[in-house]
Chains A and B, each alone.
Chain A
Amino acid sequence: MAREKTYLEEVFPSPFMQLWGIFRKTPVAMAGFCCFIFLILLAIFAPILSPYSPVDSNLEMILLPPAWHPDGNVSYLLGTDELGRDMLSRLMYGTSLTFGLSFIVVFFSLVIGVVIGSLSALTKGIKSSFLNHFLDVVLSIPSLLLAIIIVAILGPGISNTVWAVAIVFIPQFIHITRYAVKEEFRKDYVLASRLDGASNFRILYYSVFPNIIERLMSQATLAQSAAILDIATLGFLGLGAQIPLPEWGAILANGLERFYIAPWTVYLPGLAILFAVVATNLVGEGIRHALKLRKEN
Chain B
Amino acid sequence: MLTFTLRRFSLFIFTMLVLTLLSFSLSFLFPGDTVINHSGQIHATPTELVELNKVYKMDENIFSQYNAYLSHILQGDLGQSMASQSPISDEIIELLPATIELSLVALLIAMLIGIPLGFIAAIRHNKTSDNAILSFAMIGYSIPVFWLGLLAIHTFSINLGWLPSAGKISLLFEIDFVTGIQFIDILLSDSPYKWQAFSNASAHIILPACVIALAPATIFIRLSRAAMIEVLAAPYIRAARAKGLSFNQIIFRHAIRNALIKIIRHVGLQFANLVTIAMVTEVIFSWPGIGRWLIESIYQRDYTAIQSGLLVLSCFIFLVHILTDFIYAALNPLARGNNHGS
One of B72-80, B135-143, B177-185 contacting the partner? B135-143
A21 within 8 A of B: no
Task: Mark contacts of B256-285 with chain A using CB atoms, 8 A cut-off: 1 yes-contact digit, 0 otherwise.
Answer: 000000000000010011011001100100
A-B pairs, top 4 by smallest CB distance, nearest first, are: A270-B147, A142-B276, A277-B142, A144-B276
Chain B's nearest CB lies how many Å from the CB of A169? 14
| New A-B contacts (19) at CB < 8 Å, excluding given A153-B29, A238-B299, A278-B139 | A140-B321, A141-B314, A142-B272, A142-B273, A142-B276, A144-B279, A149-B26, A152-B30, A152-B303, A229-B144, A229-B145, A233-B144, A236-B144, A239-B298, A252-B146, A260-B158, A274-B142, A277-B142, A278-B138
Q: Collect the chain A residues with CB atoms within 8 Å of residue B275's CB.
A: 142, 145
What is the distance, in angstroms, from A151's C-beta to the closest C-beta of chain B? 7
Summarize A's interface: helix, strand, loop or mixed.
Answer: helix
- Residue of A133, A152, A237, A277 near B14 (CB, 8 A) is A133
Interface string of B305-321 (1 = CB under 8 A from A): 01000100110011001
Is A281 interfacial (CB-CB < 8 Å)? yes
Please, which residue of chain B has its CB at the minimum distance from the CB of A282? B138
Instruction: Give the A-binding residues of B (Cβ under 8 A).
Output: 11, 14-15, 18-19, 26, 29-30, 138-139, 141-147, 150-151, 154, 158, 269, 272-273, 275-276, 279-280, 283, 294-295, 298-299, 303, 306, 310, 313-314, 317-318, 321
A244 to chain B: which residues have CB within 8 Å? none
Q: Is the CB of B280 within 8 A of A237?
A: yes
Q: How many residues of A contact B (CB 8 A)?
A: 39
* A:105-141 near B, CB below 8 Å: 133-134, 136-137, 140-141
Chain B residues whose CB sits within 8 angstroms of the CB of A281 once the complex forms: 138, 141-142
B39, chain A: closest CB distance, angstroms: 18
Docked-complex contact A152 and B144, CB < 8 angstroms = no
Closest to B135 in A: A28
Q: Which residues of B contact A238 (CB under 8 A)?
A: 299
Contacting residues, chain A, for B154 (C-beta < 8 A): 259-260, 263
Binding site for B on A (CB under 8 A): 133-134, 136-137, 140-145, 148-149, 151-153, 225, 229, 232-233, 236-239, 249, 252, 256, 259-260, 263, 266, 269-270, 273-274, 277-278, 281-282, 285
| Contact of A285 with B138 at beta-carbon distance under 8 Å, contacts A144-B279, A263-B154, A274-B144 already known | yes
A-B CB pair tally, cutoff 8 Å: 104
- The reply to whether B146 and A152 form a contact with Cβ atoms under 8 Å apart is no
Query: Is B144 a contact partner of A273 (Cβ separation < 8 A)?
Result: yes
Give chain B residues whose Cβ lies under 8 Å from the Cβ of A142.
Answer: 272-273, 275-276, 317
Contact A141 B26 (CB under 8 A): no
Contacts of B146 in A (CB 8 A): 233, 236, 249, 252
Whether B15 pairs with A137 at a CB distance below 8 angstroms is yes
Q: Give the CA-CA distance A273 to B310 in the complex, in Å.
A: 28
Q: Which residues of B contact A143 (CB under 8 A)?
A: 276
**Within the assembled complex, what's the spacing in Å between the Cα atoms of A141 and B144?**
20
| Nearest CB of A to B149, in Å | 10
Measured between alpha carbons, how far is A270 from B139 in the docked complex, in Å? 13
How many Å lie between the Cα of A149 and that of B312 in the bound state? 13
What CA separation (Å) do A285 and B321 show in the bound complex? Answer: 27
Chain B nearest CB from A100 CB (Å) reads: 17
Contact A232 B280 (CB under 8 A): no
Residues of A within 8 A of B313 (CB): 145
**Smallest beta-carbon distance A236→chain B, Å:** 5
- Cβ of A256 and Cβ of B11 under 8 Å apart? no
Measured between C-beta atoms, what is the minimum distance from B222 to chain A in Å? 10
Max chain B C-beta neighbours (<10 A), residue from A137, A252, A256: A137
B15, B273, B306: the one within 8 Å of A152 (CB):
B306
Q: Indicate if the CB atoms of A145 and B279 lie closer than 8 Å.
A: yes
Query: What are some 25 contacts across the A-B interface (CB < 8 A)?
Result: A133-B11, A136-B11, A136-B15, A137-B18, A137-B19, A140-B269, A140-B318, A141-B310, A142-B317, A145-B314, A148-B294, A148-B295, A149-B26, A233-B146, A237-B283, A237-B295, A238-B299, A260-B154, A270-B147, A274-B144, A274-B147, A277-B144, A278-B142, A281-B141, A281-B142
